[in-house]
Structure 1
Amino acid sequence: MPRDSRPLPALALAGALTATGVLHLVRPRTFEPLIPRRLGSPRAWVLGSGVAELACAAAVAAPATRRAGGLATAALFVAVFPGNVTMALASHPGARSWAMRPAVAWGRLPFQVPLVAWALRVARTAGGAS
């Protein structure tokens, strides 16, 4: 398989996924308000998403699995978007959690589109394809 001609965007994405994955595992309470109660235990969903982010990070970081990792990351970013909308709708100025403050909650919504595009670009360029 040809070497990846543009590894820096992939490695930066892997780093971002690692940071958010660790944050989900270390500070799950920050994210628990995002999970609708009808889905069951918020803690399980938050921890599961942290593990998924770390798995995507590992897949994106390794050239042999970069294409699949980029596609999985794009799907993950799409899957968590409803949680981000829930967070924005539930945000309020006096929130104790930084993630539930309106500027943060609403400010992160527009970033989902470039995040998905970034992950798809990493998948598309994996293995030196253009």
Structure 2
Amino acid sequence: MWKKISLILFIIFYGFAGVNHFLNPETYEEVIPNWLGDAGVINILAGVVEIAVAVLAIFKPTRKYAGWITIAMLLAFVISHVYFIQLGHCAGGVCLDPWIGWVRLVVIHPLLIYWAYAISKS
């Protein structure tokens, strides 16, 4: 039962996260370093990949791909998390306490990677 709940939450989480890239692009674009390229294009690609991951996770034959693609995506997102910390923990006009950026990078991000790994095994 917990696996099913985890899977449903994973699908919802990444589906909404992907859509949010299109609804609030400025939040994401601001934490994409210039040296990576066009922040608008990268943001759109990230949103598309997150939506695709949610869809892939729905179906058992493609679930392992959803997990591994998510892991790769999350590893790529480390760049933005570090950049967010370097920016002084501000993005999209919102500034957070410095510890929040560190908790996201050191605690939450690894937990999301583990969650994706667990999904790839279900």
In the alignment, which residue of structure 2 is the partner of 1:128? none
- Deviation track 1:91-130 (CA, whole Å, cap 9, x = no partner) reads 257x6623x43354333212010000000011112xxxxx
The counterpart of 1:78, out of the listed 72, 75, 81, is 75
Conserved in 2, the CA contact under 8 Å of 1:24 and 1:47? Answer: yes
Once residues 91 and 21 of structure 1 are traced to their aligned partners in structure 2, the CA distance between those partners, rounded to angstroms, is 25
- Deviation track 1:13-43 (CA, whole Å, cap 9, x = no partner) reads 1111011111111111111121111222111
In the alignment, which residue of structure 2 is the partner of 1:23? 20
Conserved in 1, the CA contact under 8 Å of 2:32 and 2:80? Answer: yes
Q: Structure 1 segments of 4 or more deviating over 6 A?
A: none
> What is the RMSD of the two structures over their aligned residues, measured on CA atoms?
2.0
Percent of aligned pairs with the same amino acid: 25
- Deviation track 1:20-67 (CA, whole Å, cap 9, x = no partner) reads 111111111111121111222111111110111001111112222111
AA aligned to 2:34 is R
The counterpart of 1:90, out of the listed 87, 91, 105, is 87
Larger Rg: 1
Q: What TM-score, normalized to structure 2?
A: 0.85
Change (3 A) 1:78 1:96: closer
Once residues 114 and 92 of structure 1 are traced to their aligned partners in structure 2, the CA distance between those partners, rounded to angstroms, is 21
* Correspondence 1:13 to 2:10: yes
Once residues 33 and 16 of structure 1 are traced to their aligned partners in structure 2, the CA distance between those partners, rounded to angstroms, is 21
The counterpart of 2:57, out of the listed 52, 55, 60, is 60
* Runs of at least 5 residues in structure 1 that lack an aligned partner in the other structure: 126-130
* Correspondence 1:107 to 2:119: no
Conserved in 2, the CA contact under 8 Å of 1:18 and 1:54? Answer: yes
* Runs of at least 5 residues in structure 2 that lack an aligned partner in the other structure: none
